[in-house]
Chain A
Amino acid sequence: MSPGTPALRVAIVDDEAPARSRMHDLLEDCAPDLSVQVVGEAANGRDLLELLERQPADVVLLDIRMPEMDGIEAAQHLHKLARRPAVIFTTAFDAYALKAFELHAVDYLLKPIRLQRLQEALSRVHTQPLPGIELLQQLQSQARRHLSVQERGKLILVPMDKILFLRAELKYVTIRTAERDYLLEESLTRLEEEFAERFVRIHRSCLVAREHIDRFERVAEEGGWRVLLRGLNERLPVSRRQQHVIKEFARA
């Protein structure tokens, strides 16, 4: 790298402290050939997103298997950042993901990582865009733990268990928690597929969280049903087509 080029800003994400310190050592070893600056470390995807709010990075070395928020989910949320860092996935063993990375020419590093491989990956980083959202969705082994929305340039994470219902409006999906609304640019159908265990469709345009359902109520004058959610005053209509949900709920 020619002198005067700004150092590559790197964030290290791994849930194991020794793995982070090993990566630190390796990045220091890169020094003569490649100017690298470690801007921070994070122990899971959520910590990474917080870190990036304070400290922008050019590249994230991202472990796949982590508690709280794994690398695959974190990369999906990174898509919503104004300045997206490049991502190099690191993993000790993950046959399924690695096959997909090979197929889509996504760079990854196998732990234990060789210095030379790390240098190669870092020097290529400018030509490596963030892996596409479709690929990441396909690699997701379980439903995301959070939805992310952008508000005034800030990324906000909404934990799934706080969400009462999701409702499709014209162009957006409204996320409703006990406190407030958020606007999300995703399709309700896809959300329904991904979170089938957590949400149930009560209407063409509305998914409610099973764990927050309090009871169903009959509206005498209309002959229809409404659902009451814990922590919410609003009553949501259940469409005629989805009334089987009420029976299933009663059985459970």
Chain B
Amino acid sequence: MGSIDQSIHRDALPDFRNLGVILRIVCIVLLLCVFAALCQVQSWGGTFERFLEVVLPVQPALLLSLGALWAASDWLRRRPYREGVLLVAVLELGVAALVHAGLGSVMPDLTQAGPERYGVLALAATGLILYYFHLRSRALSPALTEARLQALQARIRPHFLFNSINAVLSLIRLEPRRAEVALEDMADLFRVLMADNRELSTLAREVELTRQYLNLEQLRLGPRLRVEWHVDNMPEDALIPPLVLQPLVENAVYHGIEPCTGPGVISINAYKSPRGEIHLVLRNPYRRDGAHHAGNKMALGNIRERLSLHFDAEAGLRTTVSENTYQVHIVMPYRTAAAQAARVEEALA
């Protein structure tokens, strides 16, 4: 899990224009004042009075700070995180000095302490608040990661969906039986796409799903699409994150087959190496002139993330482009559900 967090989580200052952030800052500062009052006075009655005395000089500083941060929020958030923190600290020192000078003329007895004490207190409060926001964003980020993975996973090209439905419609009058099979394939495909895909699937299931997907593409593209499967020697029970193969094949069709009028071959190779690693190799024709790749990169990035989520550094994805072929090569460790269950039992015993 750790490796994924880091790739996605980036330290950043909170959004000082967000109401939730402003309320949190106000609450923290008030709580600090309550705490200060509690420490200074022994009786409950006196605490409240002391609290009011403490809050009095803090209020203008707080309001001024919130205003300044609100104004500078966008600018601050564009800086690198460390620089941003430094700038906020400088800003708070400025506010403290300003409030000290301002209050000095109105209430001289409140400001006997001298500006440096104000500065230290302001810095301490600022540090505490920024640290709180830092921890908070850390704590929330795995949830964001998960949501993002789920969202990406469920993406299938609308282009494919609507063209496939259109192809099925064309079959209904003349070849109703083929239309039935096509709709069944589509149902299976979407069942997997819409499922909760956090658990590992097996290689055999992934291959089956990809076959169903390719049946639908075959319907649309006819002789333009040729598929070569080399999966006779694959270990069927190998665990694999779901929807690793199908999106890659979808990319291969979109970028390698559809832009050509002539027939093109997609070859899919799955095998276990002597070292006990699972290899998945996908090749498709490649055209240099296409203006694509944004979607392709997103899909590849997503698959890389999920591979490392499940297998950490043991899995890898490599792409190579040669004169007219594009190749994706995935290597991952050979794990099976049975082996994992055995390990759990061993640990329990």
Where the two chains meet, the residues of A that have a C-beta atom closer than 8 Å to any C-beta of B are 15-19, 21-22, 25, 43-44, 65, 67-68, 92-94, 110-113, 141-142
Query: Is there an interface contact between B165 and A16, defined as CB atoms closer than 8 Å?
Result: no
Contact of A18 among B166, B258, B260 (CB under 8 A): B166
**Closest 6 CB pairs between A and B?**
A22-B170, A92-B162, A18-B170, A18-B167, A93-B158, A142-B291
Interface stretch of the complex, out of B10-18, B46-54, B90-98, B214-222: B214-222
- Please name all residues of chain A whose beta carbon is closer than 8 Å to the beta carbon of B173 when the two chains form the complex: 25
Where the two chains meet, the residues of B that have a C-beta atom closer than 8 Å to any C-beta of A are 157-159, 161-163, 165-167, 169-171, 173, 219-222, 258-261, 289-291
In the bound assembly, the distance between CA atoms of A19 and B159 in angstroms comes to: 13
- Please name all residues of chain A whose beta carbon is closer than 8 Å to the beta carbon of B169 when the two chains form the complex: 22, 112
Query: Is there an interface contact between B163 and A16, defined as CB atoms closer than 8 Å?
Result: yes
In the bound assembly, the distance between CA atoms of A141 and B259 in angstroms comes to: 13
Contact of B219 among A18, A43, A92, A93 (CB under 8 A): A18
Tell me the minimal C-beta distance from A135 to chain B in angstroms.
19
11 residue pairs bridging A and B, Cβ less than 8 Å apart? A15-B258, A16-B163, A17-B222, A18-B219, A22-B167, A65-B258, A67-B261, A93-B162, A94-B159, A110-B162, A112-B165
Contact of A93 among B159, B170, B221, B289 (CB under 8 A): B159
Nearest A residue to B162, CB-CB:
A92
In the bound assembly, the distance between CA atoms of A22 and B166 in angstroms comes to: 7
- Please name all residues of chain B whose beta carbon is closer than 8 Å to the beta carbon of A67 when the two chains form the complex: 258-261
- Please name all residues of chain A whose beta carbon is closer than 8 Å to the beta carbon of B289 when the two chains form the complex: 142
In the bound assembly, the distance between CA atoms of A21 and B220 in angstroms comes to: 11
Residue of B171, B173, B289, B291 most packed against chain A (CB within 10 A): B289
Nearest A residue to B221, CB-CB:
A16
Tell me the minimal C-beta distance from A171 to chain B in angstroms.
31
- Please name all residues of chain A whose beta carbon is closer than 8 Å to the beta carbon of B291 when the two chains form the complex: 141-142
Query: Is there an interface contact between B163 and A92, defined as CB atoms closer than 8 Å?
Result: yes
Query: Is there an interface contact between B261 and A92, defined as CB atoms closer than 8 Å?
Result: no
Tell me the minimal C-beta distance from B293 to chain A in angstroms.
12
- Please name all residues of chain B whose beta carbon is closer than 8 Å to the beta carbon of A18 when the two chains form the complex: 166-167, 170-171, 219-220, 222
- Please name all residues of chain A whose beta carbon is closer than 8 Å to the beta carbon of B219 when the two chains form the complex: 18
- Please name all residues of chain B whose beta carbon is closer than 8 Å to the beta carbon of A111 when the two chains form the complex: 162-163, 166
Residue of A25, A44, A141 most packed against chain B (CB within 10 A): A25
Query: Is there an interface contact between B159 and A112, defined as CB atoms closer than 8 Å?
Result: no
Using known A-B contacts A67-B261, A142-B289, determine if residue A92 contacts B159 with beta carbons closer than 8 Å: yes
Nearest B residue to A160, CB-CB:
B289
Query: Is there an interface contact between B261 and A44, defined as CB atoms closer than 8 Å?
Result: yes
Nearest B residue to A145, CB-CB:
B289
Tell me the minimal C-beta distance from B297 to chain A in angstroms.
17
Nearest B residue to A25, CB-CB:
B173
Residue of A17, A18, A93 most packed against chain B (CB within 10 A): A18
In the bound assembly, the distance between CA atoms of A25 and B290 in angstroms comes to: 33
Query: Is there an interface contact between A92 and B222, defined as CB atoms closer than 8 Å?
Result: no
Using known A-B contacts A43-B261, A67-B258, A142-B289, determine if residue A19 contacts B167 with beta carbons closer than 8 Å: yes
